[in-house]
Amino acid sequence: MKIESIEISVFELPMYPSVTNVVEFGSSTDPRWKQTFPAGENVPVQVIRVVTDEGLEGICTVGDWRYTELNWAQIVTLRELAIGEDPLDRDRMWSKLNAASRFLDPVWWGGFDNCLWDIAGKAAGLPVAELLGGARKHGTAYYNTAGSTVEELIRDGEKGLAAGFTTLKDHLAFSYEENIDAFEKFRNTFGSEVGLMHDAALASYNYDEALTVGKSLENAGFIWFEEPIDDRLHAQNKQLCDLLEIPIAGAETLMHDPAMGELWLRSGAVDVLRVHARHGVTAVQRLSKIAYELDANVEPNAYGPLFGLVHAHISCGIENIDWFETAPPANGAIMGKEIGLLNPIVPVNGSVTYPESPGWGAEWDWKQFEKKRVAVL
pLDDT in tens, 40-75: 678 899 999 999 999 999 999 998 887 899 999 999
Please check the confidence at residue 277 and state whether its pLDDT lies above 80.
yes
Q: Total structural domains in the chain? A: 2
Does residue 362 fall inside a structural domain? no
How many helices (H) does the chain have, and how many strands (E)?
13, 15
Does residue 171 fall inside a structural domain? yes
Q: Stretch 114-118: mean pLDDT, rounded? A: 98
What number of other Cβ atoms are within 10 A of residue 32's Cβ?
A: 13
Same domain for 43 and 108: yes
Same domain for 265 and 294: yes
Does residue 78 fall inside a structural domain? yes
d(CA 118, CA 314): 13
Could you list the residue range(s) of the whole structural domain that residue 299 is in? 131-357
Same domain for 135 and 122: no
Same domain for 277 and 138: yes
Mean pLDDT taken over the chain: 95
Three-class DSSP category at 59: strand
Q: How confident is the model at residue 16 (pLDDT cuts 50, 70, 90)?
A: confident
Same domain for 332 and 310: yes
Query: Which of 88, 105, 126 is a domain's end point?
Result: 126
Query: Which of 126, 155, 185 is a domain's end point?
Result: 126
pLDDT for residue 36: 73
User: Cα angle at 83 between 50 and 285, to 5 degrees?
Assistant: 60
Q: Render the burial of 318-332: b for 16+ CB within 10 Å, e for the rest.
A: bebbbbbbbebbebb
Same domain for 30 and 63: yes
